């Protein structure tokens, strides 16, 4: 089984709808991240969490919110989806051993907002 | 602010050709540097990393050396294969956040 899973894998929705993307991990990592990927822009950080009680905004948090329900679960919500939120969304985890960090990515959720 | 700049693609090479993908960075302090690879339809996977100046990361025939004097971490492979076709991302880690480049698409033709 995959260490980092995302649901759904694909979603088509309409402008104004509330959407939740879910991420679960079995790696036991404290740190979790949400990114979006757009052609020509690479990955941009939306939110990150270093533990259940720690949530931080990333580069492009406007229009998004997150919930860290447990160490293993980190959800991303779009309160009122708009077309320019159409993108590929990735969840990632990491567990720095005090030195260099490595991220482990989920398979991605392709979201289309009509 | 902290950032990564990598060469734009797409890059198309014949099998067994030499590959270089340039990456330069801007960061305060002493970041760790990474190359990630994304195969079609998949998430990113770590390819290699280096944690301090002059370190060389290597994996699957790919190499990159952390050059502090030129703030660079160029990816190289001596002989590419069709299976290397993917998107390659340079990234840096500052202790809290990762910063990714825009990605370079590589296609290797037989």
For B51-64, the pLDDT digits (tens) are 989 999 999 999 99
Please report the pLDDT score of residue B96 as a whole number.
76
Average pLDDT for B63-85: 96
- What pLDDT is attached to residue A2? 67
**With an 8 Å Cβ cutoff, are A48 and B102 in contact?**
no
Number of H helices, E strands in chain A: 0, 11
Q: Can you give the pLDDT at residue B1?
A: 83
In angstroms, what separates the C-alpha of A25 from chain B's closest C-alpha?
Answer: 14
Q: What is the pLDDT of residue A1?
A: 59
Q: What percent of chain B has pLDDT over 90?
A: 80
Peptide bond into B79 cis (omega under 30): no
Q: Rounded to a whole number, what is the distance in Å from the CA of A7 to chain B's nearest CA? A: 14
> CA A38, B82, A106 angle in degrees (round to 5)?
40
- pLDDT (average), residues B3-19: 93
CB contact under 8 A, B97 and A41: no
Separation of alpha carbons B50 and A91, rounded Å? 23
Q: Are A51 and A34 in contact (CB under 8 A)?
A: no
Q: What is the pLDDT along chain A (114 residues), one digit of tens a residue?
A: 569 999 999 999 999 999 999 999 998 898 999 999 998 888 999 999 999 999 999 989 999 999 999 999 999 999 999 999 999 999 999 887 654 578 899 999 999 999
The answer to whether B27 contacts chain A (CB < 8 Å) is no
CA distance A50 to A29: 9
pLDDT at B12 over 80: yes
Q: Are B44 and A103 inside 8 Å of each other by CB?
A: yes
B21 pLDDT band, cuts 50/70/90, is very high
Answer whether A5's CB lies under 8 Å from A103's CB: no
Share of chain B above pLDDT 70, in %: 100
Q: Show Cβ contacts of residue B25 under 8 Å, excluding neighbours closer than 6 positions.
A: B2, B3, B4, B5, B31, B33, B71, B72, B73, B90, B92, B99
Query: Taking residues B56-75, what's their average pLDDT?
Result: 96
Of A7 and B2, more confident: A7
Helices and strands in chain B: count of H runs, count of E runs: 0, 12
């Amino acid at each position: 089984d995959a260490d980092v899973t995302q649901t759904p894998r694909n979603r088509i929705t309409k402008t104004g709808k509330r959407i939740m993307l879910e991420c679960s991990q079995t790696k036991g990592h404290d740190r979790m991240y949400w990114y979006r990927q757009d052609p020509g822009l690479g990955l941009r950080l939306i939110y990150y969490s270093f533990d259940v009680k720690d949530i931080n905004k990333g580069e492009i948090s406007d229009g998004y919110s997150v919930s860290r329900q447990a160490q293993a679960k980190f959800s991303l919500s779009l309160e009122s989806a708009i077309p320019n939120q159409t993108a590929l969304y990735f969840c990632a985890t990491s567990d720095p051993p005090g030195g260099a960090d490595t991220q482990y990515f989920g398979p991605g959720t392709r979201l289309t907002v009509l | 602010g902290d950032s990564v700049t990598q060469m734009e693609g797409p890059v198309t090479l014949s099998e067994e050709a030499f590959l270089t993908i340039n990456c330069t960075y801007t960061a305060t302090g002493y970041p760790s540097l990474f190359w990630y690879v994304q195969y079609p339809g998949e998430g990113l996977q770590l390819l290699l990393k280096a944690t301090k100046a002059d370190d060389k990361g290597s994996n699957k025939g790919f190499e990159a050396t952390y050059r502090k004097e030129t703030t660079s971490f160029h990816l190289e492979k001596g002989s590419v294969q069709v299976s290397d076709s993917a998107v390659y991302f340079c990234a840096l880690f500052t202790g809290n956040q990762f910063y990714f480049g825009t990605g370079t698409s590589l296609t290797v033709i037989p």
